[in-house]
Amino acid sequence: MSSIYEKYDLKQVINASGRMTILGVSTPRQDVVDAVEYGLNHFFEVKDLVNKTGAYIAGLLNAEDAVIVSCASAGIAQSVAAVIVKDDANLLVNLHATQLTVPDEIVLPKGHNVNFGAPVGTMVALGGGKVVEAGYANECSAAQLEACITPRTAAILYIKSHHSVQKSILSVEQAAVVARKHNLPLIVDAAAEEDLFCYYQMGADLVIYSGAKAIEGPTSGLVVGRKQAVEWVKLQSAGIGRAMKVGKEGILGLTQAIESYLALEKTTGQQMVEKMTPFIDNLNTLNGISARVVWDSAGRDIARTEISFDESIVGRRTTDIVESLKTGDIAIYFRGYRANEGKIEVDVRSVTAPQLETIYLCIKNLFTGEGNA
């Protein structure tokens, strides 16, 4: 039988942009695939499966409880709904049609109100919440966060992400102090983060992770936190969570992925540097192009290649270069957040050495007229 690419006339993709949803995020290990297959081929009492896998994961993470959801975005929406609805049975099924009299404002730093592929505000609204921005786009202190708290505040939301503004923003620990002072839950969206322990330990009541990013599980999400708050999230399976349900295969796949993730040795940033060094050396032979190692802006141990184009020499805008490499015979995707500045980044975590050579040749060929490799 022809490959899936041939069957559906799909392009092969080189993912040099990282664990990105638009490219399918990651490629799970075989033990995760086996767990997914087992889930697909067996029946379970789903509520029991949810509760017991959640308890198992919580034990692994030294937390009070956990629940697997369909994705990190669903985790945000259901966590917001959870802290608004709590255990109100009538509001649970009428959140969409009720004029709320309970607190429904979700306070977050203005620099955290980002678009990660969809707006944070959309997820908050799906959960029945209203975003209240604290501070400014380039600054939010604990005092500025606290100043936005009113009797209508339902929770504080903190987005731990490279998408968020990093400078002059209070830490998770500082946000937790404010939350405790006002007896409010703190929700931390840590979708792509690699540390599954620290944010809960810092004082968050609910911490949300993508199952398919750092953990390299199936499409799924994890919410870990305080038992009462997690129980409220679980109740949302009869509310807005019904439209975001995760299958038995996803539950078992992510549970196995978390267990393996905690046991396996992680690839270090220095190992990434070693992997990309020949690639950088090759790029630096090209006229008008320079490359160097840069480190993750959110502080993770992730090294990437930054490629800078001198547009006056190469004769093309960097945004056009990025588009050309996406639309070639092989679709090559980069981290293009700074393409307007003439810079792109290559994330090597999901790229093989031969693929790095292909990327180099495709960039080189753009300026020699030989086309995409």
Delimit the CATH 3.90.1150.180 region(s) of the chain. Answer: 267-366
How far apart, in whole angstroms, are the C-alpha atoms of residue 104 and residue 372? 51
pTM of the predicted model as reported, rounded to 2 decimal places: 0.88
Write out the residue limits of the CATH 3.40.640.10 domain(s) in the chain. Answer: 30-263
Longest dimension (CA), the chain: 66
φ, ψ of residue 188 in degrees (nearest 5)? -115, 120
Q: Which helix (H) or strand (E) holds 153?
A: strand 153-159
Alpha-helix runs per DSSP H in 22-88:
30-40, 46-61, 72-85
CATH of 30-263, one of 3.90.1280.10, 2.60.40.420, 3.40.50.1100, 3.40.640.10: 3.40.640.10
> Would you state the CATH architecture of domain 267-366?
Alpha-Beta Complex (3.90)
Residue 10: both structure tokens together: 């799909």
Question: Quick one: 51 exposed, middle or buried, by C-beta within 10 A (0-12, 13-18, 19+)?
Answer: middle
Mean pLDDT of 330-351: 87
339-367 b/e with 16+ CB inside 10 Å = b? beebbbbbbbbbbeeebbebbbebbbebb
Compute how many other C-beta atoms are within 10 angstroms of the C-beta atom of residue 48.
9
Question: 10 Å Cβ neighbour count for 154?
Answer: 27
Q: How confident is the model at residue 45 (pLDDT cuts 50, 70, 90)?
A: very high
Residue type present at position 260? S
pLDDT tens digits, one per residue of 48-105: 999 999 999 999 999 999 999 999 999 999 999 999 999 999 999 999 988 899 999 9
- DSSP single-letter state for residue 243: G
> Do the Cβ atoms of 305 and 274 come closer than 8 Å?
no
Q: What is the pLDDT of residue 1?
A: 35
Cα separation, 121 vs 193, whole angstroms: 20
With a cut of 60, say whether residue 373 has pLDDT above it: no
pLDDT tens digits for range 120-157: 999 999 999 999 999 999 999 999 999 999 999 999 99
Cβ burial 102-120 (10 Å sphere, 16+ → b, else e): ebbbbbbbbbbbbebeeeb
Structure tokens at 66: 């956990």
